[in-house]
Amino acid sequence: MEFDLIELIRRHTAQPRDDMRLGIGDDAALLAVPAGQELAVAIDTLVEGVHFPRGTEAADIGWKALAVNLSDLAAMGASPAWALLALTLPEADSAFVEGFIEGFAKLAQPHRLALVGGDTTRGPLCISVAVHGFVPPGRALTRAGARIGDAVLVTGTLGDAAAGLQALQQPARVDDQRAGLREFLIERLNRPTPRLAAGTALRGQASACIDISDGLLADLAHICTASGVGAEIEAALLPRSSALLHLHDETTALHFALSGGDDYELCFTVPANRLAEVQADLGRLGCGVTKIGRIVEGHGVRVRGSDGAWLTTDRSGWEHFA
């Protein structure tokens, strides 16, 4: 049965690439890194009941398992190439695997990402994906480059995924308009969009970059720590979707945007003299980009409210072992 599942996965994820010498079916994959490229590698694990609610559709789990890893490559300015998949299942459920790999492949195919190997085993539902991508030497984005005076920007909108999780945890209302907005937020939770095009566009432009997985405050704080600086952001500038603002009051929407996590947007810093160019470049990509603050002397992240006073935040973001 295990080999039937492997064949099912292989069939759905076949992706011809010249740099893949040997893929699924042997003890290891044989891969060739193209000349003049560095290899960027990332891995993430999703556990049922921790990273996605029990009962989540298999296709949504497959999409998200890959998306969160591609988001890491986007934050490094890398282009995706290959992936490994370790799939732990309570039982050999071919229907689940078919749905899972359908969602996985739907995201992989537009990016020409090839699944080159992995493992299947029995146990509580858990998925680990490792992705490999290419970036020109010396062009990778990192967290350790922000400088005093840089602008702080984000792609997309913030807080939708956290609101989507809350929507799943609460009874749905019958109002048609609210139901549509609720589904939009749940979709943002289940099927995040990795900002790969934005990441590659930021090569040589952004001074530091990170993807927002644990919440804006937590992840921007990582940039500050790595760069030895502080950051000040303006609450009124945070981009939030109409769905989020329609379904929640300002205080709740702001909390989701600052600390919610799971948005998988990019947060990055740009020297002031490059700001207009970067905004124009990312604007052409259609992902949306918003300046939300600036890098300053000091450490940590401070948030200024619409009245000009500094806000007290009670939670900076998700922590796995908190």
Q: Are residues 106 and 198 in the same domain?
A: no
Residue that is last in its domain, among 82, 110, 135: 135
E strand segments, the chain? 20-22, 30-31, 38-47, 79-89, 114-122, 126-135, 151-155, 208-211, 230-234, 266-270, 289-296, 300-304
Give me the tens of pLDDT residue by residue for the chain, a chain 322 residues long: 455 556 666 666 666 778 888 877 788 889 999 999 999 999 999 998 888 888 899 999 999 999 999 999 999 999 999 999 999 999 878 889 899 999 999 999 999 999 998 888 899 999 999 999 999 999 999 999 999 999 999 999 999 999 999 999 887 665 667 888 999 999 999 999 999 999 999 999 999 999 999 999 999 999 999 999 999 999 999 999 999 999 999 999 999 999 998 999 999 999 999 999 999 999 999 999 999 999 999 999 999 998 889 998 765 554 443 4
Q: What is the pLDDT of residue 5?
A: 57
| Structural domains of the chain, count | 2
In a domain, 310, yes or no: no
**SS percent in the chain: helix, strand, coil, step 5:** 40, 25, 35
Sign of the torsion angle spanned by Cα atoms 288, 110, 2, 97 = positive
Q: Are residues 281 and 174 in the same domain?
A: yes
Q: Are residues 187 and 248 in the same domain?
A: yes
Domain carrying residue 96: 2-135
Q: Are residues 294 and 191 in the same domain?
A: yes
